[in-house]
Amino acid sequence: MRASSTSLRSKDLLGIETLIPEEIALILDTAEGFKEVSERHVKKVPALRGQLVINLFMEASTRTRVSFEIAEKRLSADTLNFSSSGSSVEKGETLIDTADNLVAMQPNMIVMRHKHPGSARMLAERYPNISIINGGDGSHEHPTQALLDAFTMRERLGRLNGVNVTIVGDIKYSRVVRSNIHLLTKMNANVTLAAPPTLMPVEIDKLGVRVVHSLDEAIEGADVVMMLRIQLERQGKLSFPSLREYYNTFGLTRERLRRAKKGVLVMHPGPMNRGVEIASDVADDPNYSVILEQVTNGVAVRMAVLYLLGGAHSTES
C-alpha cells in the first residue's frame, strides 16, 4: 500500500492504535526519502530549521534517544536533551511541573519517554500547540519502534500484506509488541505470538493474532521472527523458573530457525540479552539478522515522523 494522503490527522504521535493504514503508509513512504539523506556525504536538510525539539526522557534509553537526536539534527532542528538524572525530578518535582517549565521555553515538539502508560497523551492534551511524540510509555506503546520494524520488513520483503511475522518473548510487558500488533494487523500481515503462558496476556488473541506456547510451532513458515527482551524491570520477579530454562525452550537458535521460510528475517528491538532470548551466532549472522538495519532505519523513520508533524506544513506555507 502506498500513501494517498499527504499529512497526518493529528498533531501528535501517541501510538499506532489510532493511525489508519494510509497514515502508516505515508510515514513509511516519507522515510524512504529520508533514508537517502542519511546516505549522503552531507547528512542534513533544512526541513525543521528554527524549530526546537525537546527530548524528554524520564526512563533509560540508548537507541531511541540517540536516534531521535540524530534525526532532529539531520532535519536542522535545535535540540535539547532532558533526563531525570541530575534534574529537579530527583528533588521531587512532578512530571507536570517539569513539563510546564520546559514548555515555557517554547518548544515546537516534545519527544517523551516515561514509565507510566498514558503519560504522552496527558501532555498532548495539556499542550494543544505542541506536538508530542511518544518515545515509549510504560508497557503501553512504542510507535516509532513499530514503524521502523515495518519499514525494515517492507524494504527487505517488498510488502507487508500477507507477511508471516512471529513475535517471541515477553509479550505481557512489552510496549514494542503492542505497537507492532496494531501496525501489522492494520497492514494485513499475519501475526503469531509465542511465549510461556505466564508472559502471554489474557485474551490478546482478540487483537487478531495467533497465540501459541511452542517456539517451534511459532517459527514454522515465518517470514520474520522478532525476538523480545525479558522485561525484568517491569516483572519484578521471574515469570519462569530460570533464564537458562527460558533459553532452552524459547531462545532462538540456528537449529530452531531452520523451521522458518528460506530467507527469514531475524529482528530484535534491543537491547539484546544474548544467551537468553537469542543465540549470538543468530544475532550476528548477516544471512538472517537485520537488527542493525533496524537501528539505521530508525533514524529515517523518526525523521519522517518529525517532518510530518513539524516540518511538512511549515515548508508548504
Catalytic residues, which ones? 63-64, 91, 113, 142
Helix residue ranges, H only, 93-163: 95-103, 119-126, 143-157
94-to-89, 98, 101, 172, 301 alpha-carbon distances in Å:
7, 6, 11, 28, 31
Element (H, E) at 228: none
**What gap in Å lies between CA 119 and CA 250, rounded to an integer?**
32
Closest of 125, 203, 210, 199 to residue 165, by C-alpha = 210
Which amino acid does the sequence have at 180?
N
Cβ atoms of residues 228 and 211 within 8 Å: no
**What gap in Å lies between CA 304 and CA 298, rounded to an integer?**
10
b or e along 73-86 (b: 16 or more beta carbons within 10 Å of the residue's beta carbon)?
bbbebebeebbbee
The SS3 call for residue 315 is helix
Closest of 242, 213, 229 to residue 283, by C-alpha = 229
**What gap in Å lies between CA 183 and CA 175, rounded to an integer?**
13
